[in-house]
Amino acid sequence: MTGVLTDCLNLLYPPVCQLCQKQRAEATEGFVCAKCWSHVRFIRAPFCERCGLPFEGELTTSFVCTNCNDLKLFFTSARSAVVAKTVVLEAVHRFKYSNALWFENFLANLLVRAAAPILVNENWDYIIPVPLHPVKLREREFNQAALLAAHLARATKIPLTTTILNRVHPTSTQTLLTRDERAANMKNAFVVRKGIRLDGQRIVLVDDVFTTGATTNACAQALQVAGAAAVCVWTVARGL
């Protein structure tokens, strides 16, 4: 069945890398060739124990960055698979804003490679994707975080739910906002569905990109208010 699906995709999309348009790349590879793959930079230690910001240099002990020391954070930790640069950033942007759904496998593969080996050895109750506001969901027709979260749920066997957390305010784009403006923009943007209590449950929150953490922090706050004991954040990419 997988072979038939791949053949159908190759008829619709020629098996060529959708980033460089030069090298061969199959649908199962997310249409990203080995040469473009070589530009992906996975995040390795040392990194901030709270937000996952990678540190350039040699450190032998854990640390929390100065940015986290200045913020009230509601998630216990945030980790990202790769740095949001070059081919990864292009794939994310085209996936989200240009309906380039063929990049789903590529981006999900990055997330699963980094997150699954860690999460399977920990005790988590749910995976929850960062939700879109209904208006934005109608415009885009899909939630990129939910698609990525589904791959991670299958790999870890942690139950996926999209019915607990809702986005109730159609916030403006975060792209050009400062850290403080992003936090203000996200204030009270998310709520846990009425009647749901998270009695000490541990939540994995999934999104595509972590920049300042304003969005995931607002989500974590809503989950914590509803009774979550811990919220960890995993994203595909980390802005620097």
The pLDDT tens digits of the residues spanning 5-39 come to 556 656 666 789 999 999 999 877 889 999 999 99
pLDDT, residue 67, reads 84
Check residues 30 and 223 and name the one with the higher pLDDT. 223
pLDDT, residue 240, reads 82
Please check whether residue 127 is in contact with residue 160, taking contact to mean a CB–CB distance below 8 angstroms: yes
State pLDDT tens for residues 116-162. 999 999 999 999 999 999 999 999 999 999 999 999 999 999 999 99
pLDDT, residue 144, reads 97
CA distances to 2, 170, 202 from 15, in Å: 15, 38, 41
Give which of 199, 14, 184, 37 is closest to 223, Cα–Cα.
199
pLDDT, residue 152, reads 98
State pLDDT tens for residues 74-121. 999 999 999 999 999 999 999 999 999 999 999 999 999 999 999 999
pLDDT, residue 183, reads 78
Angle at 177 between CA 218 and CA 181, to 5 degrees: 50
pLDDT, residue 3, reads 57
pLDDT, residue 15, reads 86
pLDDT, residue 4, reads 63
CA 193 – CA 172 distance, rounded (Å): 22
What is the location of CATH 3.40.50.2020 in the chain? 49-238
User: Strand pairing partners for 82?
Assistant: 42, 237
CATH number of 49-238: 3.40.50.2020
State pLDDT tens for residues 176-219. 677 778 877 788 899 999 999 999 999 999 999 999 999 999 99
| Eight-class DSSP state of 74 | -
Whether residue 163 has pLDDT greater than 90? yes
Whether residue 40 has pLDDT greater than 90? yes
